[in-house]
Structure 1
């Protein structure tokens, strides 16, 4: 019988390369929020992939970016720290976009790390075979990767193959997490992230980074769990955008988030949302601490 392997891995890549979607696909459950806005991921979320002979712990990290705020700087520090600690890194490069400057920059950043680097060509369902072949050649010229694996998280193509390839490079190790444990993220943090994902849907370009969510209280009752949460924005004008005309957008945010939270908790949920202004919280160390950064 082959030796049991266990260890940590993460996906990296420029914004919107499909990192969080891929993490969810491998874990088989939504643990990381996804959005087509850059820098959506803010917390480090660990998802555990259980196999008979191995355990792959995926660490979903924020994307590396040019920081404009204190929050941005802290997120970049978090990313680099994670990269230095994992065993395997999957560099995500979307099949439907040519290899660009951002990809070269990240490849350079990874070169000095001890982790095994695998190139993952994502979104393979969005291109024809000829384009995919061309992209695979481009990627092979980009760096010295241990393997190159094309996948589609949405279509489910090659997800098992990718898991197999990544676990091959993990160290021999006993199990790190108990069976059935999918994530070590506290429930209230997952709930806050689900509310933030719903709030990001459809808001104008300048808003994504200004939104933070704090779950204040969770009260499990007989047939329903009551969740009280605050959505924070940086300016009064943004508060109006999140609430929408006559409260329409906030209602829609509540409806979407409630569905996800009910699935997470397995109970009926009453969700009480309030929008509050915390002036320039991304630049204020005290506000950042309060909001969990």
Structure 2
């Protein structure tokens, strides 16, 4: 995505689950993770979805380890027969499965609270097995659900395995992954969204002319819709000051070309601009 991305950590996201690849559910986890990783200055180079199949999971994770510094998988840590991610990763990292006593204690506390409403309720055997973890992994204790996350290390690279439930995934990301990545952050990623109205995508670029000078400064993506065309400018550098300076230079180039058709940037809206204009007219 970036021309000079060697200063950035590289990450890949792997969504695991038959329900994802079949289209039964929408994978919102990857969108959340990608946006959060970019805010941390981590370059997401690939997002993959695979089913609950050992060969597919191994191929995806091994491939990611060959390209990225950080791999995050979501899904397949639950208590049903098709949740195989934990066992597959254990075999990949040549690890036996052991009972984690802290995970057991957390399960018991959780179900003790639930038994207040249903005194006969016991911990299902499948749920109890979620306290079994690969010995080679660091356990990411889950205060929001029954399945802990896992962290594996290989040759300086990290594989985080998170539950597929969005609430639990986000909780573990905030509790474990964000602090970990902040310690190894090596660069900054910045974006600037420029907004135009009254132009088609083709006419916008017709006004701009050759795009090469702009693309030498930043990475460019145009996002057309019915009412407007947005242009996202992206750049990475070692400091926020360098990023802002480069985005400012690119913004000036674009706005000079589109002239009055450009109405705003980032969080500015067309409604807000029109409202401000009307207020100015008294």
The alignment's TM-score, normalised by the length of structure 2, stands at 0.36
The alignment's TM-score, normalised by the length of structure 1, stands at 0.35
Greater C-alpha radius of gyration? 2
